[in-house]
């Protein structure tokens, strides 16, 4: 993203939403950003094996899978409804709740991380994403609630919020103008996006990447901020699609963590090694 260095005619901008709606989007995005920051710093994310074994949500410590109560009985629907209602009452301003098919317990949309996905779900995701293909690249001039204009090259539609480089803060987008000039190349992910299809990491490829990252699953200590494999998957998906970090699907976890991983790997030169390995091991 860059601040627009070319003047854009005022009548070229197409209103996207009212200033009130854009300010609401802006405040929502700030809350989600802060919630994910806190989550990254304070929560130990579960591995899939931990989730499947019945470990509770690392944020609220409520169940992620339904299990029999003492005596072998499942909770009654009345007990479930009362428990969920009590939980909702403590998260009134968190914009919704979620639960998964195997569990009747609700979790907070803002405070609770989604559980990890299985190897079979990872394969289904790979098939879905590969079948869709990347959206066309476009360059947008974004007029924000602060009245500054940013230029962003991405795939698909223009975002509803973005970072203002002048304000140093998240702003809602109130109007857009699509650039008539060819989209700018984003050098930090051109190679991966144009030459390599997105493929979620297989177990075999992950075993090859781990030594490059210097990760030994047997000796990892402390509180992991983000599962390394999920971080690499998120970066590969973002580089293939060209979407802003903030638009990463939530199934990849925190976009802030993924972006932080990317910055560190780029700075150390490790990311180039990962891309080279991807190129060598991807099907022709």
Task: Kindly give, in sequence order, each residue whose CB lies less than 8 Å from that of residue 254, ignoring residues fewer than 6 positions away.
Answer: 36, 39, 40, 113, 226
> Has residue 69 been placed in a domain?
yes
Number of domains the chain contains: 3
pLDDT tens-digit readout, 37-62: 887 778 888 888 999 999 999 999 99
From the CB of residue 85, how many other CB atoms can be counted at a distance below 10 Å?
10
Together in a domain, 226 and 252: yes
> Has residue 174 been placed in a domain?
yes
Together in a domain, 94 and 223: no
Residue 81 C-alpha from the chain's centroid: 31
Residues in the chain: 284
Together in a domain, 126 and 214: yes
Domain end marker among 63, 78, 113: 113
pLDDT tens-digit readout, 70-128: 666 677 889 999 999 999 999 988 878 999 887 899 999 889 988 888 878 877 776 77
Q: Which domain holds residue 213?
A: 122-132+186-281
Domain end marker among 113, 145, 165: 113
Task: Kindly give, in sequence order, each residue whose CB lies less than 8 Å from that of residue 244, ignoring residues fewer than 6 positions away.
Answer: 1, 152, 154, 159, 162
Distance between CA 262 and CA 235 in Å, rounded?
A: 7
Together in a domain, 190 and 70: no
Together in a domain, 247 and 190: yes
Together in a domain, 79 and 109: yes
From the CB of residue 279, how many other CB atoms can be counted at a distance below 10 Å?
12
Q: Would you call 56 exposed, middle or buried from its count of C-beta atoms within 10 A (0-12, 13-18, 19+)?
A: middle
What band does 192 get if pLDDT is binned at 50, 70 and 90? very low
pLDDT at site 278: 75
> Has residue 10 been placed in a domain?
yes
Together in a domain, 140 and 128: no
Together in a domain, 170 and 202: no
> Has residue 203 been placed in a domain?
yes
Q: What is the mean pLDDT of residues 155-182?
A: 84
Burial 245-261 (b: 16+ CB within 10 A, else e): bbbbeebbbbbbbbbbb
Task: Kindly give, in sequence order, each residue whose CB lies less than 8 Å from that of residue 76, ignoring residues fewer than 6 positions away.
Answer: none
- Nearest Cα neighbor of 90 from 116, 69, 112, 73 is 112
> Has residue 253 been placed in a domain?
yes
What band does 268 get if pLDDT is binned at 50, 70 and 90? confident
Is pLDDT above 60 for 166? yes
Together in a domain, 241 and 230: yes
> Has residue 231 been placed in a domain?
yes
Distance between CA 29 and CA 35 in Å, rounded?
A: 10
Together in a domain, 211 and 230: yes
pLDDT at site 194: 40
Together in a domain, 97 and 237: no
Together in a domain, 81 and 200: no
Distance between CA 139 and CA 183 in Å, rounded?
A: 5
> Has residue 37 been placed in a domain?
no
> Has residue 84 been placed in a domain?
yes
Which helix (H) or strand (E) segment holds residue 163: the answer is strand 161-164
């Amino acid at each position: 993203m860059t601040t627009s260095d070319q003047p854009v005619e005022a009548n070229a901008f197409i209103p996207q939403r009212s200033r009130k709606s854009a300010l609401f989007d802006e405040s929502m995005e700030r809350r989600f950003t802060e919630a994910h920051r806190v989550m990254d710093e304070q929560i130990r994310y579960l591995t899939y094996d931990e989730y499947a074994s019945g470990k509770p949500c690392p944020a609220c410590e409520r169940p992620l899978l339904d299990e029999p109560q003492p005596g072998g009985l499942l909770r009654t629907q009345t007990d479930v409804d009362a428990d969920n209602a009590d939980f909702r009452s403590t998260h009134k301003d968190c914009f919704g709740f979620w639960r998964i098919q195997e569990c009747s317990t609700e979790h907070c949309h803002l405070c609770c991380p989604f559980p990890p996905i299985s190897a079979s779900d990872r394969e289904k995701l790979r098939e879905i994403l590969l079948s869709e293909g990347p959206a066309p690249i476009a360059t947008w001039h974004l007029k924000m609630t602060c009245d500054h204009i940013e230029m962003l090259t991405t795939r698909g539609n223009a975002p509803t919020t973005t970072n203002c480089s002048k304000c140093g803060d998240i702003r809602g987008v109130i109007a857009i103008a699509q650039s008539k000039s060819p989209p700018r190349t984003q050098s930090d992910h051109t190679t991966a996006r144009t030459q390599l299809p997105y493929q979620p990491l297989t177990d075999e490829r992950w075993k090859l990447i781990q030594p490059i990252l210097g990760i030994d699953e047997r000796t990892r200590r402390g509180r992991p901020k983000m599962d390394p494999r999920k971080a690499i998957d998120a970066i590969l998906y973002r580089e293939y699609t060209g979407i802003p970090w903030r638009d990463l699907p939530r199934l990849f976890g925190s976009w802030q963590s993924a972006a932080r991983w990317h910055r560190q790997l780029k700075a150390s030169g490790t990311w180039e090694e990962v891309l080279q390995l991807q190129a060598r091991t991807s099907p022709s």
